[in-house]
Structure 1
Amino acid sequence: MASSLTCAGLLWALLSLLCAAASCVGFFLPYWLLGAQLDKPVSFGPFRRCAYPVRDEGRQTTVMVEQCGRYASFAAIPSAEWRICTVVTGLGCGLLLLVALTALMGCCVTELVSRTVGRVAGGIQFLGGLLIGAGCALYPLGWDSEEVRQACGNLSDQFELGTCKIGWAYYCTGGGAATAMLICTWLACFSGKKQKQYPY
């Protein structure tokens, strides 16, 4: 099968796939914020968390359930900022994934990615990275929620971590988006071969 990509385009396709995978994995996993509650490690993502308190009626105490899961509903996400972050980051990850899959198809399909298509794809990647970056910037605004404060020693506030620390998934999501914006967008401009002109 012939490729519609140049050498720079092949690098773009590979890097686009890696960036999309890094951002999507980081977005899905609830390790954006790490803390502790009732001497158990707790972690949060925009729409998921690991370890949560449950009232044990038999003992009349609160115990920690050491499981990971998403919030029961969209409205149950602890803050409005995290709800916006979830939507914006999810949309950005979707755009990066769409471009990455198109770039991979360009490795196998002739004349799929022209110079114009490559530039448009680069613009979509830039927009996707921008959306994910906006989501990452919004995330610290939700650190003043009651759930986060319980895990951060009641010291957290907007842009104040308290006893918590930022987890690897936050860096993974943001790093994938930044690479997509800065490198993939540039490579996309040189990704497509010049289309052949056919005489009529």
Structure 2
Amino acid sequence: MPTFVHYLWILLTLLVSVTCTYSLLQPEWFIHPDFIHSFGVYAYCLRDFRYTHARQICGYYGGQFGFSNVPSKAWKAASLLYGGGSMFLCISCLFTLISLCIRRGCDTIVILMTSYLQTAAVVFLMCGILSFPFGLSSDYFRHYCGESASIFHSDICSVGWAYMLAIVGTALSVFCPILSHFVDTSKDESSVIKTDV
């Protein structure tokens, strides 16, 4: 029978996999002070000049979803790393649910494999978050956020909510492989031997 820690581990894995995947697809990793221009890993938002008032239009870099359209090599690396980490978390989420359904004895193997997968996901997510600011020195980013933008300095642009959500999701994902070591499915109340003192 699954324990409270097992359910907590499943819930946390589900939470961080949804959080990290959602933040990956959002264009608000860095935001211009006008709150119209924003830049993400795969998508961006710009001002639509067809209207007299400021209106935001969002889309993928290059007009379509594709790795080759991302304007910076650092952002390509971040998309591979953070995207890979998010994918590993989603796969580990499925494995945590499978660990509920399989018989005792086999579940420890699934839990151990999931723990390793979650550890790899955390490493990929952290590397993706740390590599994204290296793209702030690209010509594309400097065009919108100022010529003095450089690595880890965004000039007039600021960190957006999606980048902060990615950081929080990654920070919480650190606890997934830790919790997996406390998931003990081998013990339940019926197998405990009572001794008289």
One-letter amino acid of the counterpart of residue 46, structure 1 = V
In 2 relative to 1, CA 155–112 (structure 1 residues): closer, same or farther, beyond 3 Å? farther
Distance in 1 between residues matched to 2:98 and 2:61, nearest whole Å = 35
One-letter amino acid of the counterpart of residue 16, structure 2 = C
Per-residue CA distance 1:15-36 (angstroms, 9 max, x = gap):
1000111111111111110115
Aligned residue for 2:71, secondary structure, equals coil
TM-score by length of 2: 0.82
Deviation at 1:190, TM superposition (A): 2.3
Q: Which of structures 1 and 2 has the larger relative contact order (alpha carbons within 8 angstroms, sep 6+)? A: 1
The farther-off stretch of 69-78 and 85-94 is: 69-78
TM-score by length of 1: 0.81
Q: Is the 8 A contact 2:36 2:47 kept in 1?
A: no
One-letter amino acid of the counterpart of residue 57, structure 2 = Q
Q: Is the 8 A contact 2:19 2:165 kept in 1?
A: yes
Q: Is the 8 A contact 1:89 1:134 kept in 2?
A: yes
Deviation at 1:192, TM superposition (A): 4.7
Deviation at 1:164, TM superposition (A): 0.7
Distance in 1 between residues matched to 2:23 and 2:39, nearest whole Å = 12
State percent identity of aligned pairs: 26
Distance in 2 between residues matched to 1:22 and 1:74, nearest whole Å = 22
Alignment of 1:18 with 2:8, yes or no, is no
Alignment of 1:149 with 2:146, yes or no, is no
Q: How does 1:1-200 map to 2 (within 5 A)?
A: 5-36=2-33, 41-51=36-46, 66-72=56-62, 73-111=66-104, 114-181=107-174, 183-194=175-186
Per-residue CA distance 1:66-115 (angstroms, 9 max, x = gap):
22111124323111111111111111100001111221233445448623
Q: RMSD across aligned C-alpha pairs, in angstroms?
A: 2.6
Q: Is the 8 A contact 1:115 1:189 kept in 2?
A: no
Deviation at 1:120, TM superposition (A): 2.2
Structure 2 residues without counterparts, runs of 5 or longer: 188-197
Q: Is the 8 A contact 1:15 1:184 kept in 2?
A: yes
Per-residue CA distance 1:141-171 (angstroms, 9 max, x = gap):
0001122112213221111110111111112
Aligned residues: 183
Distance in 1 between residues matched to 2:77 and 2:9, nearest whole Å = 30
Distance in 2 between residues matched to 1:113 and 1:99, nearest whole Å = 16
Bigger fraction of residues in helix: 2
Structure 1 residues without counterparts, runs of 5 or longer: 57-63, 196-200
Aligned residue for 2:13, secondary structure, equals helix
